[in-house]
Structure 1
Amino acid sequence: MTKEVKMTPVSTETRAALAEVMTAFEAFKSANDQRLGEIEKRASADILLEDKVSRIDAALDQQKTALDRLLLDQQRPAVSGTDKLNNPGWQRYVRQGDVAAFQEAKSLNAGTAGEGGYVVPQETEALIDRQLAEASPLRAIASVRSSSAAVFRKPVSRGGAASGWVTETAARPETTSPDLDLLDFPAAELYAMPAATQQLLDDAMVDIDQWLADEIRDVFAAQESAAFISGDGVNKPRGFLSYTCNVEGGQAWGELGYVATGVEGGFAATDPGDALIDLIYAPKNAYRASGRFLMNRRTVSAVRRFKDADGNYLWQPGLSEAGTSTLLGYPVSEAEDMPDIAANASAIAFGDFRKGYLIIDRQGVEVLRDPFSAKPYVLFYTTKRVAGGVQDFDAIKLLKFSAA
């Protein structure tokens, strides 16, 4: 399969969406500056002005979401004509249930005899993976690998390796061996069951592979996103928020470090952005260079109002067609499964997620066609095995809304 990736010319629609975001942000800054001025003078702002700021903020969120969607569509790889699926056996199985011409069969559940299904062609699996990467926030910023094993094991070094300087002819004494640990990432099964009518399946103009990818994209992405962030690791990937957290500098191996805001359930009343700066400088420079923020849209709405000592807003929208919003100069990714700002909640994460979090896709998306359980609809029991967990505990830091 050959894939051609090109820079797509910026569309008029994308330019218009970017202009709307910038206009909305200017309106937001003007209204919020007025609100802050009233608070300084009278210790509170007019309720109508507060409502105006909130409405502009909500509109800015909507316009930013629309722009992000357009940018995703624009950046999708161009697929050449040779990539079009030409697997008559697969097509006949999906459309008609004919298994005679389908070559590769595989049990969907190794523990249950008689329950069978079929592995989708590689082109269809790649299309599903591409759709998931677009819809799942963590897939877009974490490391993603494929594996054929039920459990992916990764050895990691916890340090301890020694070295030394020697001359050309000096002896090389044996050094201390590194302290190694083995991380296990067990694959868990994720399933969806989209339904179609036989009339839809009989329509030759319908792209069945695109239909299947579209139907399971949102279902899989919603489940994955929640698991990658807060999953407990039981029959699902383990989310980074499920690991033990300790105050930055006091964490042990296997724990994530956090920075406290100093206020229970919120930011400090004065200089609230200082907590964000502390969070940025919690990781080492090697991780900070590719760092980004991760939070939900309600938290974005809160930090969008912060200003520095010179009166500049800490949050800025992308200034180019290919850009993304930034906070203190670092990209911001939104994930609705991140917790809201609350007492002791870790509502903001920062770091190099590509080094910090690992997602494992077990090869082989499997489909079982079921025309009997929900007549007159045909169900497609689709399964995908996914694992996930933290691979580098120094790469991700959390902002905890607590006094200490």
Structure 2
Amino acid sequence: HDERLKGIQNAASSGVGSQGGFTVPTEFSKIYWDRSLDSEIVRPRAQVWKMTSEERMVPMFNSEDTSTGIYGFVSQWLAEYGTATVQTPELRGLKLKANKLGLYTAMSREIAQDGLDFPRQCENALTKALGWSLDDAFLNGDGVGKPVGVLNASCKIVVDPESNQADNTIIRENLVKMFARLLPGSFKNAVWVVNQTALVPLLMLKDDAGNPLWSYGKPLLGIPVIITEKLPALGTQGDIALCDFSCYAIGMRQEIAVDTSNAPGWTKDQIDLRGIIRVTGQPIFSKPIKQKNGNTVSPFVLLGNRKS
């Protein structure tokens, strides 16, 4: 048994205060938070900003238009004794506002006290639920009381399917064109994120020599592949996405806090458990990046809808 968990178990049975509740100490909350990283896709690869209040403004240089220069600077070629023009950098602010994510459950005192290694089971369940919910929000969130997910990002690029492409298919042209729209600086950090329902057509792809284009465990076009259930099903826009999550910002106002009380279920000898985390997330860009030749690229590229 993990000795650190005995404190949780003892606290749950003894109770603190007139309402019979207690809060798991910070060090235990940190255990939950850190262990959920192993099951997450976005947070281990994202920018994580500590928040000391409900909102935080993150200043950054504006690199959303590189058609004439970068960050608002336009370099000049100067003759001897030539006079340079004063350049003013373009800055913008990324506003992070914390949202609250909660998990609530109840259990009988008998289960809490007599259940087989219950504290460890509770820890594992809480860790998995936390990681699942965070990833789902960072991928699919609509920004209303929750993070703005990659699939709803205003900076995303959607690559349309080929003319007359059959429903629920993935072809080489789709992947190559997605690859070509990725932000150049994102190639070293990008990952393919694929819904599991898209695995069959992906594994069936062949190169010109008739060899598999991709095999599980290997990179696809030089980029790692992550399989998840959290993207839309095969044929729906976003069932496969090419993402550089280092261009996604997460604001952490409060790490997970686990509270337990027997007050609500006093007459049933029932223990209520609550997990709360205050967090937000959004892409760092507000629109696709415009390049010098007029082409647009993005750190988040989705395959479009292939359903009639």
Report if the CA contact (8 A) 2:240-2:303 is conserved.
yes
* 1:76-87 alignment runs, 5 A limit: 85=4
What is the aligned partner in structure 2 of residue 162 from structure 1?
A: 74
1:343-369 deviation digits (Å, cap 9, x = unpaired) = 6x232211322x222222223432332
What residue in structure 1 maps to residue 158 of structure 2?
258
**TM-aligned CA deviation for residue 166 of structure 1:** 6.4
Bigger fraction of residues in helix: 1
Find the aligned partners of 2:61 and 2:54 in 1 and give their Cα distance: 23
Residue aligned with 1:132, SS = helix
Q: Cα distance 1:205–1:241, how it changes in 2: closer, same or farther (>3 A)? A: closer
Deviation at 1:87, TM superposition (A): 9.6
* Aligned match of 1:12: none
Unaligned runs of 5+ in 1: 1-82, 101-114, 245-254, 319-324
Quote the Cα distance in structure 2 between the aligned partners of 1:268 and 1:235: 32
Deviation at 1:116, TM superposition (A): 11
Contact 2:60 2:93 in 1 (8 A): yes
How far 1:223 sits from its partner (Å)?
A: 2.5
Tell me the distance in 2 between the aligned counterparts of 1:181 and 1:279. 28
Amino acid in structure 1 at the alignment position of 2:43: R
* Letter of the structure 2 residue corresponding to residue 183 of structure 1: L
Residue among 244, 248, 261 paired with 1:352: 244
- Out of 362, 372, 396, the position equivalent to 2:263 is 372
Partner of 2:28: 124
One-letter code of the match for 1:260? D
Change (3 A) 1:370 1:281: same
- Provide closer, same or farther for how the CA distance between residues 265 and 196 of structure 1 changes in structure 2, counting only shifts above 3 A: farther
1:185 matched to 2:96? The reply is yes
- Residue of structure 1 equivalent to 2:47: 143
249, 265, 277: which one pairs with 2:176?
277
- Distance in 1, Cα, partners of 2:138 & 2:258: 24
Structure-to-structure mapping, 1:243-392, within 5 angstroms: 243-244=153-154, 255-263=155-163, 266=166, 272-318=171-217, 325-342=218-235, 345-353=237-245, 355-374=246-265, 375-392=268-285
TM-score normalised by structure 1 residue count:
0.61
Residue identity in the other structure for 2:282: G
- What secondary structure sits across from 2:239 in the alignment? strand
Alpha carbons of structure 1 residues 236 and 268: separation in structure 2 relative to 1, 3 Å: closer
Q: 1:377 to 1:86 in 2, by over 3 A?
A: closer
Alignment partners' CA distance in 1, 2:211 and 2:149 = 35
The TM-score normalised by the length of structure 2 is 0.78
Aligned residues of 2:49 and 2:252 also touching (Cα < 8 A): yes
State the number of aligned residues.
286
1:94 is matched with 12
Contact 2:22/2:261 (<8 A) preserved: no
Aligned pair in 2 of structure 1 residues 178, 197: CA closer, same or farther (>3 Å)?
A: same
Partner SS, residue 298 of structure 1: helix
Q: 1:171 to 1:347 in 2, by over 3 A?
A: same
Distance 1:369 1:202 in 2: 14
Q: Which has the higher contact order (CA 8 A, sep 6+)?
A: 2
* C-alpha RMSD over aligned residues: 3.6
1:308 counterpart SS class = coil
Listed as ranges, the gaps of 5+ residues in structure 2 are 63-70, 289-297
Q: Are the aligned partners of 2:193 and 2:242 in contact in 1 as well (CA < 8 Å)?
A: yes
User: Following the alignment from structure 1 to structure 2, what is the Cα–Cα distance between the partners of residues 291 and 144?
Assistant: 17
Q: In structure 2, do the counterparts of structure 1 residues 196 and 402 end up closer, same or farther at CA, with 3 Å as the change threshold?
A: closer
